[in-house]
């Protein structure tokens, strides 16, 4: 019984979910839905269901302000009365609370903190196991090597294989995908439970191997998965969870939680997630991110305290620099140098990463081989990297035995490693010992570490496992900063400050600056500065860090896209490039310079032939609907799929059968008709009605916006990029049209054969084609067609800057350019992208000249408008007073 | 000569500025412009100008991509050639660089750092002078009192008077106004040089008086003023500075700079400014804020180092809490209590502040008196406050002799004041001594301090001088935190931690938490947490601070609006309330629930009488233009002012004179006409043409958006709220119409008397009214009228949530609701505000029921659309095939 109830609840959930869905696979949906409704109707009448559940159903209905009036006439046996009332009260309370955002955010934070902690715990165990194996075999170097190498290879291979099998979407960072999802694109299967499992387990194994991989990016994805799943789960209780806008808001908060609980850095997490995933940020959602991230970071650290890892809540990589005199003013040039060098380094990292990916892709032979043995590439890369870090081997020159975390802790140490002036050497205690080599200078070790880790990280992040690049880059940056810091310390052993006290230079401070700068350069963010403060627990170096990060960003942004944008391009995710740093020539490009003037449109009084032609020629996703070819007044837009289905209805088999039936009826007058076409037709009508009613439901202000269309619902590609010619013909069972076949060259009539059987399809090919010609000449009836009544409109003079803003704000795919109601052009993402990239990358040869910034203020344009208005007006006159007009001169003279 | 050149440049600047201007006072502008052009033309032909300037002009032309082709045909004397070429090159380089954002941001940062430092310096001197006077007169308490009291009274009175005389706009914080400006509203005189001077000097005096006033809010305003003025100044060199979007971006950056250089808190500054001024934030502008704020904070602190105030760059209120064990996990409840209490306190503060303002306003008698003696109120308040803080008087119980800065330093001290367990008392050194009273417990002192300062700050911020409330609130919060901290320290003298080492409680940490929480509660921001870290230079208390701030925000936001929103409401600035914390019922309201269905519209073929009627009945700012009353197809919108001017042209004196002239000409056929009506008419036409051509220039995508219309240009009120009936009639010199007089009941024809003098206005009143009746029956000619060709459109099903987003994203004022091109309603800011507030504040009695969340999925709506489409289609049919239709049944049957 309970299963039955939850089943029904799930059904209702899916139903409500659908209202938010745009127009995807609605034919299929309508069919399924009809079948399910029928089924559930039967079940309802048959099965005996608990009254509590019914009442719950009722309450839910009220709570969600839905018009389902429930079943108020259920009769209660008095015995069960009290219990059920109690249950209902409790559930009611639960339900009313459960809908509130903060509950959701706390649950999300809690969940993610637990996940983060468990993952960290498992990774630590994995790494310890490797160390233990390596340490236990110290009698035999070969066995040691074998253990050192086999362990990561096995783990990475398992991770790659597991991810590949369970959910290939879990591969990689996840931040590029989240950026795309938050931009409004629905990615297939990206937010499912399978992906969650694959990502968590894959990530744990990948990081447990000790490869230079990061946890941050995947955690953003995991948090989003968590949010999506939690939202799905909680929609079982409340009525608010199927709202699209809310889900987007929650996903944005989840991204913040992901970073926040990964580094115990709530503020940095929020800012970083905003910078890497959003284009425009609603300040009203700000608190969500802060709330969830803080709670998550708090729990994450509390878990560490409870586990006795820490005495109290402190930073993850706590530093202990002196507070009074953190750095000298004269050290600032060195910090600036770190910033600029990191900028170049960051750009190089992104470039190298892309190069490796493209190289692997291009080499056909390698590729084919690797594709066959999917797990070979990860294994080979891991083998190479772990061989090089083998501590008794080359690893001894680059502190190879340290894990990533250990390296970072040592690099941020506040003691100086190279004190050349002072006799007694710094005693390398603990992990810091790894940096000391009997033959080599610490500088050489550092340089080797930086160089080796640099390409290793770039290479390792191309392995198809869930992994991020933030942490490796962070460590490299810290090492680079340390190198500069140690050099400074060697150069000025007594510090720079001249008057009075000696303040020696703190190389650890340089490491902090370097880490923030390099990670900022790679990700193109400024908030790495905040992350670094939260990670180290000290903010005393704020100005050097900020200066270095800003310089690094300035350099890196002018050379390369960010790592995430680079991945977006490699993966060919739909994207809209940013307007870069002060490319002010773009303020002067206007829509009329980039719009496509040759718009495909259909008119209100067009016939099916026009429809047919338009569909045949273009490959557009939506078509503009104008009043008439003369007036060109834009009424709305219609999706291609809708038109295809209109056409297929008109030329379809059922229509033809109806025609045959009518003809037969006309012939056999006064005879009783055997078949019941009315009912059959009616049911078909009904299913169609459901189909289009539902799709209009959420067609709110900008239905051209693919954004809010159920990012939680998998199995959808980009909704407006729908071209599924194989599906349309199957929805009404009619696809034997000839003209139709031209259009959809796929799926010949396999189902069409099992038809009603009441009338025979006795028409010859010739008759059919005649009939079709006749049908094509009929006027289109748009009644059942889903028209987007207010597609987004721009005017010619809208600047590129503003257009870009609007497109990214509203997640538009295209916008029509109108002039006083008249359609004159269309701008799609493609044109916009071309215009932006044309003027950004190809500096010399612009796609279009940036054109007149102050084009002389529009005598022309004003006249233009005036004449257009004239036309409209005249047309109007001529319509209301037909056969009388001498249009264009009359009223100009009459003035 | 140079003056001449710059004059012309200024002219060009103003001209280009105008293209960005919306439609304000265009008649006036056109006149002025024409006069100026004439004048400059004369000057050009007369004056002998330097070739260099001419060439510069030429280069500027090219650089700015403007079509002014300059004077390429100037002949060069060979001697001057080389020099001029050099000059040109230099200037060219300068110009090309000057246009880049970072130059602007650096200049802005530098300027603001200097201003901030100078202001701080002057304030410090003022406060020192007061101390010195007070200290010098310690022989006589009465003289001391006089000195203690007179000094602030004089300063505040001067500040109030100076501000009042020079620029009353400089009064108050400035953040509410900047919020409104960034929302897109143009406030009158808010960004002028006069305001800048008044604000800086007024602020210095006000803060120098030692009143509990803050510097932050005014600095946001000052930075914006700086940006606006700098932008104006730099537009003399480059061509990019007149771009509206850019100016808004720069203003946003300036707000960050304001906070950043005030507290040397770049990150907190950026975040705080985003939170208090923006609704939606473009991540692409992020770097601007960071860059400028960092640079500004850097220079600000470097100035302190150079002035030998500090040894190196450190935080403004540096703390020295221990790093290893900043706080115990078990102290967290105390921090949470601080957060919640601060939330209530913050709400109380906002309420108290508003109460005082409203009380002062309501008391008619007081008010009249105060209005007469404008400076009396400030003086009285100052007298009261300074009397109470007089150190030998009541001030001894509340550390009255400490300045705000000193209080804060002592409150953040890392030593514990009340160690009851330990015998040897803490020796109150330095300023901390003030907190120790021989008779009183330190707890009493703190409580008195908090209570007194609380109402004093709330009162002081109502004084009409430039002042903010952030810093006073911050200090009160710190005191409250300290109070809790000291209590905890007294309660647990050995700390809470049980196993092993003793970690005593640090009351300074509580003070930090309290400061962040209370200021966060008053301003409704989370970023005060970041500001507090940057101010103290320590981030170790991040989790307690975040938790307290979030709790404080949660409490305060549910009780009161933020201080800035409260001021916005008091000042009645145009605002759009935020969607609050998780009011999810608003996801379910749709546009059709709130829209006004009775839209005023004009049709394309309407006559002037309709125009007249529409203008007489409604009080709307813009009117929809539809194709015809039957079709209701929305073509665009026209501003009221435009229509008024259309009507005034039609009924105006000049038109009538023309009519008389024509009549006369018809009468005296074959006679030579004395006057030259053609040329006169032509010039008028030309001026009109200029007028409307210019206005269409920038009417880009959403001209309903008042936003980008020249916030830099003063003297404009909200552009779309234009109702200046006194101006319209004066623009064409015709205002003796009778019907017209009904419309604009102001300004009888004073100018109308000095007319051309060539024809006599010999019409009688009756003739005139007959003529007017005839004129009113003519069809309107919209040719010269500025039509907004793409007003923003929504559909019925757009949710309130989305509508709010769009309105705040795009800064809309109203949007039309259409259904397949047909106008069916309008939603303005008013309706939206009502809907939001209705469901936010009046929880029980909602303005409208939240209505069906899943209204059953639209059989009705779909039918609705279908029928509308029918109508349209039928109408269309009936038009193309007139007198033949039987509209609504025919094609429904044919299916």
User: Would you call A583 an interface residue with chain B, using a CB distance cutoff of 8 Å?
Assistant: no
Residue B323 with chain A: CB contacts under 8 Å:
318, 320, 537-538
What number is the average pLDDT over the span A550-564? 90
Q: For A402-435, what is each residue's pLDDT tens digit?
A: 888 888 888 888 777 766 433 344 555 566 677 7
User: Would you call A239 an interface residue with chain B, using a CB distance cutoff of 8 Å?
Assistant: yes
Q: How far apart are CA A412 and CA A420, in angstroms?
A: 20
Residue A99 with chain B: CB contacts under 8 Å:
584
Query: Alpha helix locations (H) across A668-811?
Result: 677-697, 738-743, 765-776, 800-810
Q: Find the closest chain B residue to A891 by CA distance.
A: B781
Q: Do B789 and A101 touch (CB under 8 A)?
A: no
User: Would you call B8 an interface residue with chain A, using a CB distance cutoff of 8 Å?
Assistant: no
**Best of B267, B581, B832 to mutate (most A CBs within 10 Å, chain A):** B267
User: Which candidate from A65, A634, A782 shows the least CB-CB separation from B821?
Assistant: A634
Work out whether the CA dihedral A169, A175, A176, A180 comes out positive or negative. positive
> CA separation (Å) from B720 to A95, A443, B638, B811?
45, 66, 11, 12
Residue B803 with chain A: CB contacts under 8 Å:
701
Q: What angle do CA B84, B89, B92 make, to 5 degrees?
A: 120
- From A345's Cα to the closest Cα of chain B, the distance in A is 20
- The DSSP symbol for A585 reads G
User: Which candidate from A271, A540, A793 shows the least CB-CB separation from B537?
Assistant: A540
Q: How far apart are CA B538 and CA B414, in angstroms?
A: 12
Residues pairing with B827 in the sheet: B815
| Both structure tokens of A324 | 């009074």
What number is the average pLDDT over the span B364-370? 69
Report residue B505: phi and psi, to 5°: -75, 140
Q: How confident is the model at residue A32 (pLDDT cuts 50, 70, 90)?
A: low
SS3 call for B332: helix
What number is the average pLDDT over the span A754-769? 64
Q: How far apart are CA B895 and CA B303, in angstroms?
A: 83
Q: pLDDT: is B294 or B824 the higher one? A: B294
pLDDT at B176 over 80: yes
Q: What is the 3-state secondary structure (H, E, C) of B443-510?
A: HHHHHHHHHHHHHHHHHHCCCCCCCECHHHHHHHHHHHHHHHHHHHHHHCCCCCCCCCCCCCCCHHHH
In this structure, of A409-423, B170-184, B585-599, B735-749, the range with the lowest mean pLDDT score is B735-749
Q: Looking at the whole model, is its pTM more than 0.80? A: no
Q: pLDDT: is A840 or A600 the higher one? A: A600
Residue B20 with chain A: CB contacts under 8 Å:
none
Residue B806 with chain A: CB contacts under 8 Å:
701, 810
Q: How far apart are CA B717 and CA B94, in angstroms?
A: 35
User: Would you call B634 an interface residue with chain A, using a CB distance cutoff of 8 Å?
Assistant: yes
Q: How far apart are the first and last CA of chain A?
A: 81
- Most confident residue range from A19-33, B112-126, B789-803: B112-126
- Could you please report the per-residue DSSP string of A477-521? HHHHHHHHHHHHHHH-TT-S--SSS-----HHHHHHHHHHHHHHH
Q: For A176-231, what is each residue's pLDDT tens digit?
A: 888 888 877 777 778 889 999 999 999 999 999 888 998 888 999 999 999 989 88
Report residue A863: phi and psi, to 5°: -60, -40
Q: How confident is the model at residue B498 (pLDDT cuts 50, 70, 90)?
A: low
Q: Find the closest chain B residue to A696 by CA distance.
A: B862
Q: How far apart are CA B58 and CA A301, in angstroms?
A: 65
Across A379-400, b (16+ Cβ under 10 Å) vs e yields bebbeebbeebbbeeebbbbbb
The secondary element (H helix, E strand) that includes residue B257 is: helix B244-263
Work out whether the CA dihedral A411, A415, A420, A424 comes out positive or negative. negative
User: Would you call A67 an interface residue with chain B, using a CB distance cutoff of 8 Å?
Assistant: yes
CB B350 within 8 A of CB B522: yes
- Could you please report the per-residue DSSP string of B624-668? EEES-TTT-BEEEEEEHHHHHHHHHHHHSHHHHHHHHHHHHHHHT
User: Would you call B274 an interface residue with chain A, using a CB distance cutoff of 8 Å?
Assistant: yes
User: Would you call A291 an interface residue with chain B, using a CB distance cutoff of 8 Å?
Assistant: yes
User: Which candidate from A67, A628, A805 shows the least CB-CB separation from B856?
Assistant: A67
**Best of B542, B551, B682, B888 to mutate (most A CBs within 10 Å, chain A):** B542
Q: How far apart are CA B848 and CA B830, in angstroms?
A: 14
Residue B698 with chain A: CB contacts under 8 Å:
797
Looking only at the bridges linking them, the beta strands covering A601-603 and A622-626 are parallel
The candidate with the shortest Cα–Cα distance to B172, out of B190, B158, B154, is B190
User: Which candidate from B65, B534, B859 shows the least CB-CB separation from A542?
Assistant: B534
Work out whether the CA dihedral A779, A785, A790, A791 comes out positive or negative. negative
User: Which candidate from B240, B266, B697 shows the least CB-CB separation from A858?
Assistant: B697
Q: Which residues contact B393 (CB under 8 A, 6 or more apart)?
A: B145, B387, B400
User: Would you call B12 an interface residue with chain A, using a CB distance cutoff of 8 Å?
Assistant: no
Q: Do A65 and B281 touch (CB under 8 A)?
A: no
Q: For B763-775, what is each residue's pLDDT tens digit?
A: 777 777 787 777 7
Q: Do B700 and A802 touch (CB under 8 A)?
A: yes
- From B854's Cα to the closest Cα of chain A, the distance in A is 5
pLDDT at A347 over 60: yes
Q: Do B806 and A318 touch (CB under 8 A)?
A: no
User: Which candidate from B246, B579, B590 shows the least CB-CB separation from A587?
Assistant: B246
pLDDT at B36 over 70: no
- From B79's Cα to the closest Cα of chain A, the distance in A is 35
- From A582's Cα to the closest Cα of chain B, the distance in A is 6
Phi-psi region of B25 (alpha: psi -120 to 50; beta: other; left: phi over 0): left
Q: How far apart are CA A480 and CA A548, in angstroms?
A: 13
The candidate with the shortest Cα–Cα distance to A131, out of A401, A513, A444, A386, is A401
CB A820 within 8 A of CB A603: no
Q: Do B540 and A694 touch (CB under 8 A)?
A: no
- From A865's Cα to the closest Cα of chain B, the distance in A is 8
The number of angstroms, rounded, from the C-alpha of B237 to the middle of its chain's C-alpha atoms is 27
pLDDT at B400 over 50: yes
User: Would you call A861 an interface residue with chain B, using a CB distance cutoff of 8 Å?
Assistant: yes
Interface of B with A in 25-64 (CB under 8 A): 64
In this structure, of B3-12, B331-340, B555-564, the range with the lowest mean pLDDT score is B3-12
User: Would you call B858 an interface residue with chain A, using a CB distance cutoff of 8 Å?
Assistant: yes
CB B839 within 8 A of CB B590: no
CB B186 within 8 A of CB B719: yes
Q: For B534-588, what is each residue's pLDDT tens digit?
A: 988 888 888 899 999 999 998 998 888 889 988 888 887 776 666 654 455 555 6
Q: For A113-167, what is each residue's pLDDT tens digit?
A: 999 999 999 999 999 888 888 888 878 888 888 888 998 999 999 999 999 888 8
Q: How confident is the model at residue A245 (pLDDT cuts 50, 70, 90)?
A: low
* Rg of the Cα atoms in chain B: 33
Q: For B679-698, what is each residue's pLDDT tens digit?
A: 444 444 433 333 333 333 33
**Best of A795, A801, A882 to mutate (most B CBs within 10 Å, chain B):** A795
Q: Do A879 and B876 touch (CB under 8 A)?
A: no
pLDDT at B203 over 70: yes
What number is the average pLDDT over the span B589-614? 79
Phi-psi region of B710 (alpha: psi -120 to 50; beta: other; left: phi over 0): left
Q: Do B267 and A326 touch (CB under 8 A)?
A: no
- Whole-number mean pLDDT of chain A? 71
CB A527 within 8 A of CB A457: no
Other beta carbons less than 10 A from residue B311's beta carbon: 17
What number is the average pLDDT over the span B34-62? 41
Q: Do B550 and A294 touch (CB under 8 A)?
A: yes
Q: How far apart are the first and last CA of chain B?
A: 81
Q: Do A65 and B585 touch (CB under 8 A)?
A: yes
Q: Find the closest chain A residue to B276 by CA distance.
A: A283
Q: For A698-725, what is each residue's pLDDT tens digit?
A: 333 333 333 333 333 333 333 333 333 3
Q: pLDDT: is A241 or B643 the higher one? A: B643
Q: For A677-701, what is each residue's pLDDT tens digit?
A: 444 444 444 333 333 333 333 333 3
- From B541's Cα to the closest Cα of chain A, the distance in A is 8
SS3 call for B758: coil
The candidate with the shortest Cα–Cα distance to A147, out of A167, A132, A166, A169, is A132
- From A494's Cα to the closest Cα of chain B, the distance in A is 16
Q: Do A876 and B314 touch (CB under 8 A)?
A: no
Interface of B with A in 739-798 (CB under 8 A): 779, 781-784, 787, 789-790, 793-795, 797-798
User: Would you call A546 an interface residue with chain B, using a CB distance cutoff of 8 Å?
Assistant: yes
User: Which candidate from B537, B803, B870 shows the least CB-CB separation from A539?
Assistant: B537
Q: Do A283 and B283 touch (CB under 8 A)?
A: no
The candidate with the shortest Cα–Cα distance to A532, out of A432, A443, A411, is A411
Q: How far apart are CA A395 and CA A407, in angstroms?
A: 13
- From B301's Cα to the closest Cα of chain A, the distance in A is 10
Q: How far apart are CA B750 and CA A857, in angstroms?
A: 34
């Amino acid at each position: 019984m309970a299963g039955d109830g939850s089943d029904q609840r799930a059904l209702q959930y899916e139903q409500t979910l659908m209202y938010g869905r745009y127009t995807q696979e609605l034919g299929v949906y309508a069919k399924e839905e009809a079948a399910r409704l029928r089924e559930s109707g039967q079940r309802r009448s048959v099965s005996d269901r608990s009254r509590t559940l019914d009442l719950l159903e009722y309450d839910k209905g009220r709570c969600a302000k839905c018009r389902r009036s429930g079943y108020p006439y259920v009769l209660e046996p008095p015995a069960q009365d009290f219990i059920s009332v109690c249950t209902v009260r409790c559930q009611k309370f639960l339900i009313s609370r459960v809908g509130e955002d903060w509950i959701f955010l706390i649950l999300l934070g809690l969940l993610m903190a637990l996940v983060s902690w468990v993952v960290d715990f498992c990774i630590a165990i994995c790494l310890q196991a490797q160390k233990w194996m390596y340490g236990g075999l110290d009698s035999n170097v070969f066995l040691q090597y074998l253990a050192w190498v086999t362990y990561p290879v096995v783990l990475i291979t398992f991770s790659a294989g597991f991810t590949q099998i369970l959910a290939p979407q879990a591969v990689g960072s996840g931040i590029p995908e989240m950026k795309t999802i938050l931009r409004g694109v629905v990615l297939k299967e990206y937010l499912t439970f399978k992906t969650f499992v694959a990502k968590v387990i894959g990530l744990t194994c990948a990081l447990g191997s000790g490869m230079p991989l990061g946890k941050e990016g995947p955690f953003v994805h995991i948090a989003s998965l968590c949010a999506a799943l939690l939202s799905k789960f909680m929609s079982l209780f409340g009525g608010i969870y199927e709202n699209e806008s809310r889900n987007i808001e929650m996903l944005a908060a989840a991204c913040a939680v992901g970073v926040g609980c990964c580094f115990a850095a709530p503020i940095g997490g929020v800012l970083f997630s905003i910078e890497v995933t959003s284009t425009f940020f609603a300040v009203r959602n700000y608190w969500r991110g802060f709330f969830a991230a803080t709670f998550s970071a708090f729990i994450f650290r509390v878990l560490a305290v409870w586990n006795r890892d820490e005495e109290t809540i402190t930073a993850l990589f706590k530093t202990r620099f002196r507070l009074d005199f953190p750095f000298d003013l004269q050290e600032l040039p060195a910090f600036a140098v770190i910033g600029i060098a990191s900028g170049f380094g960051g750009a190089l990292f992104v470039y190298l990463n892309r190069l490796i990916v493209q190289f692997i892709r291009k080499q056909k032979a390698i590729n084919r081989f690797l594709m066959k043995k999917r797990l070979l590439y990860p294994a080979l890369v891991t083998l190479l990297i772990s061989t090089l870090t083998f501590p008794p081997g080359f690893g001894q020159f680059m502190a190879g035995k340290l894990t990533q975390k250990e390296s970072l802790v040592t690099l941020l140490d506040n003691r100086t490693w190279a004190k050349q002036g002072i006799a007694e050497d710094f005693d390398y205690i603990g992990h810091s010992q790894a940096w000391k080599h009997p033959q080599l200078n610490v500088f050489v070790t550092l340089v080797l570490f930086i160089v080796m880790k640099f390409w290793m990280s770039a290479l390792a992040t191309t392995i198809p496992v869930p992994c991020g690049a933030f942490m490796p880059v962070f460590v490299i940056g810290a090492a680079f900063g340390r190198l500069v810091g140690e050099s400074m310390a060697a150069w000025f052993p007594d510090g720079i400050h001249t008057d009075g006290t000696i303040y020696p230079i703190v190389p650890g401070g340089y490491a902090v600056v370097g880490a923030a700068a390099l990670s900022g350069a790679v990700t193109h963010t400024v908030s790495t500065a905040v992350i670094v403060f939260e990670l180290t627990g000290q903010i005393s170096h704020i100005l050097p860090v900020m200066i270095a990060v800003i310089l690094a960003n300035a350099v890196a942004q002018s050379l390369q896209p960010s790592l995430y944008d680079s991945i977006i391009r490699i993966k060919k995710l739909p994207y809209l490039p940013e307007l870069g740093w002060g490319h002010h020539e773009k303020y002067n490009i206007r829509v009329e310079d980039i719009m496509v003037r040759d718009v495909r449109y259909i008119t209100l009084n067009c016939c099916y032939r026009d429809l047919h032609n338009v569909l045949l020629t273009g490959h557009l996703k939506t078509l503009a609907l104008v009043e008439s070819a003369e007036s060109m007044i834009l009424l709305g837009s219609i999706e291609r799929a809708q038109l295809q289905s209109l056409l297929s209805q008109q030329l379809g088999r059922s229509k033809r059968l109806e025609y045959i039936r009518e003809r037969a009826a006309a012939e056999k007058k006064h005879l009783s008709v055997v078949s019941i076409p009315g009912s059959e037709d009616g049911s078909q009508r009904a299913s169609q009605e459901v189909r289009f009613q539902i799709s209009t439901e959420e067609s709110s202000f900008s239905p051209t916006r693919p954004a809010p269309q159920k990012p939680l619902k998998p199995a959808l590609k980009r909704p407006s990029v729908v071209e599924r010619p194989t599906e349309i013909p199957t929805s009404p069972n009619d696809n034997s049209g000839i003209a139709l076949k031209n259009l959809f060259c796929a799926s010949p009539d396999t189902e069409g054969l099992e038809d009603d059987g009441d009338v025979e399809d006795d028409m010859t090919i010739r008759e059919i084609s005649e009939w079709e010609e006749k049908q094509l000449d009929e006027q289109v009836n748009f009644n059942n067609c889903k028209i987007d009544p207010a597609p987004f409109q721009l005017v010619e003079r809208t600047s590129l800057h503003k257009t870009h803003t609007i497109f990214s704000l509203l997640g538009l795919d295209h916008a029509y350019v109108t002039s006083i109601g008249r359609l004159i052009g269309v701008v799609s993402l493609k044109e916009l992208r071309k215009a932006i990239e044309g003027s950004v990358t190809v500096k010399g040869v612009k796609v279009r000249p940036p054109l007149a910034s102050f084009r002389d203020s529009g005598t022309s344009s004003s006249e233009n408008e005036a004449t257009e208005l004239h036309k409209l007006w005249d047309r109007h006159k001529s319509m209301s007073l037909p056969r009388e007009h001498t249009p264009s001169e009359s009223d100009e003279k009459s003035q």
